[in-house]
Chains A and B, each alone.
Chain A
Amino acid sequence: MPEAARTPTAARVRSAGIFALVVLGAVVMLFPFLWTVITSITPDGNLADGPTLFVDDPTLAAYRALVDAVPIWRILVNSFAIAIVSTLLQLVTGSMAAYGFARLRFPGRNVVFALYLATMMVPLQVLVVPLFIEMKTLNLQDTYLGLLAPSFASAFGVFLLKQAVETVPLELDEAATIDGAGHLRIFGTIVLPLIRPALATVAVFAFMASWNSFLWPLVVIRSPELMTLPLGLSTLQGQFTTRWDVVMAGSVVSIVPIALVYLLAQRHVVAGIAHTGIK
């Protein structure tokens, strides 16, 4: 195989083969989303009927019903605000911690890092009640701050960024130190630009985690004005009957923004590399 790949035509055939596979795979991955979109514009659309590729008379009725059923604009503003703020916070707190773990040889470093990881190991389902009682004690229940509190920092982000910082060659730091740069400057001018792909990745996941989170907002939010998207969408499913076309319209509304965030972040992943010239 490697031998064959080296001749130009064989390489081209192989590339075409891989491309075909990628296209096929993309169809499989996109199919549920397309199905969601199609159901949302089918009159009285119903998932149980199975997917159809063509809609005889497409309608936006489900989207109008969605707007009538939930205060969608308010909800979107809330969700966006919370997601953006928590993403920014996690980027700042995460990249700083990552630098600390990767570059500072302080005693107990491994133990502290293990403790960070440990915060990911107890399921939220069991933390929700104590956390809620704590929020009530701090008088933060039913506030934006209470909603944000658990996502100020994430061990996931710290871990991912730490792995990235460790791939930045130490020689760059050393050269800067000789030039008289301190930790803050090395962090800001050398490390941060070089880990942009990882920062973009963390941004995507932080945004997504906030955007989709359900259990914590469910218990901490009481006022309809503070409601976030997943809470709003959950009210579309009734105890006995559900209008699936409206649920699907809601899903489309919830999927599109993160897909856009991802596309946006993608550019930075690529740009980051082009700029730094590690090549």
Chain B
Amino acid sequence: MQRSRWRTLGWALVFLGPSAVPLVLFTAVPMVSSAWVSLHEWNLISDMRWVGLDNYRSLLTDPATREVFWHTLLFVAGYLPLVYVGGLGLAVALNRRMPANAFFRAAYFLPVVTSWVVVALVWQWLLNPSDGLVNHLLGAVGLGQPGWWTDPTWALPSVILASAWKDLGFVMVILLAGLQSIPGDVLEAADVDGAGGWRRFWHVTLPLLSPSTFFVVVISLINGFQVFDQVFVMTGGGPAGSSQVVVGRIYDLTFRYGRAGEASALSWLLFAVILAITAVQIRGQKRWVHHA
């Protein structure tokens, strides 16, 4: 018993070593350094000055912190359902036999690989309040025409919309791989049992897809809370700060404001939030994630 336990540990070292060593060296070590920085006042250039937990204290009372966390939360709440439901629909649709299947998969994946600079320009044009395509369509069916990214109320929804559109292909790819690995005979058996379209989808496909779903949700939350690129290029956090997010604030604090200590502290607050949310998901997965 004891010996086999040591053996397993040995094998674990063999299998995990190649990934663990670089992750420790090039991610964990900088993480620890940033934790150290978070206890200092530092503008990246002059002396670091020890301030203990002051950075955390001042962040927790700073209204700007609350604001960026709130915007980030709104982003995630809007983005995740959109991108998951859309990606799932796509994956199911494209998992069927149809002409030019591979072409369509590639087409839907294209936005994922396109740089945010280009995507932002395109969406700024689509959502242009006065002569953008979206407002033309909304006007045609008699709906209101919001100011989108130029209006403090609509800036964040604009970013959410563009992000979901861009990442649909990402979710689709993961779920497609999941669908592809569902054994065909299971689905056939369900067919034989007389389970038609929707019922088969709810009671067979979706549960079998749950490991992929779990993965998508965990990753999307981890990434969603660190949303930055699209905000940076689409709205720059504006207008009037209405779409500024946590990592946008971290970037400003580090590279524009010379407040690297607070930036590090803020990123550890963000870390705590993401960790808590991920832990809850991992705890809860037994209830709904089915493994083969």
Contact = CB atoms under 8 A, between A and B. Distances in A.
Contacts of B292: 166-169
Contacts of B111: 29, 32-33
Given A93-B18, A96-B19, A150-B27, A126 B254 contact: yes
A183 B198 CA distance: 41
B140 to A, nearest CB: 17
Contacts of A30: 107, 110
A55 interface: no
A164 interface: yes
Contact of B125 (A6, A36, A50, A155): A50
A255 B110 contact: yes
Contacts of B251: 125
Interface string A140-170: 0000000001101101101110011011110
B185 A279 contact: yes
Interface stretch (A59-67, A71-79, A173-181, A262-270): A262-270
A153 B127 CA distance: 39
B219 A156 contact: yes
A119 interface: yes
A121 B197 CA distance: 39
Contact of A123 (B18, B44, B228): B228
Contact of B113 (A107, A152, A259): A259
Given A35-B122, A254-B115, A279-B184, A201 B18 contact: no
B164 interface: no
Contacts of B112: 208
Contacts, number: 256
A96 B198 CA distance: 38
B30 A131 contact: yes
Nearest to A100: B15
Describe A's contact surface by its main secondary structure. Answer: helix
Nearest to A234: B117
Nearest to B268: A122
Interface string A93-121: 11011011100111101001011111111
B270 A212 contact: no
Interface in A1-35: 1-3, 5-6, 15, 18-19, 21-23, 25-26, 29-33, 35
Contacts of B250: 123, 125-126
A158 B19 CA distance: 9
B181 A278 contact: yes
Contacts of A23: 104
B199 A167 contact: no
Given A5-B197, A121-B274, A127 B31 contact: yes
B25 A149 contact: yes
A204 B114 contact: no
Given A2-B196, A97-B18, A25 B8 contact: no
Contact of A201 (B20, B108, B174, B197): B174
A159 B219 contact: yes
Interface string B251-276: 10011000010011001101100110
Most buried by A among B14, B18, B33, B180: B18
A259 B16 contact: no
7 contacts: A50-B131, A104-B8, A104-B11, A104-B15, A123-B267, A149-B26, A259-B109
9 A-B pairs with least C-beta separation: A2-B196, A100-B15, A152-B22, A130-B33, A153-B19, A93-B19, A130-B30, A106-B12, A32-B122
Given A155-B23, A183-B15, 14 more contacts: A2-B196, A15-B96, A94-B19, A115-B28, A121-B270, A130-B33, A153-B22, A211-B113, A212-B115, A233-B115, A251-B115, A259-B113, A263-B106, A273-B181
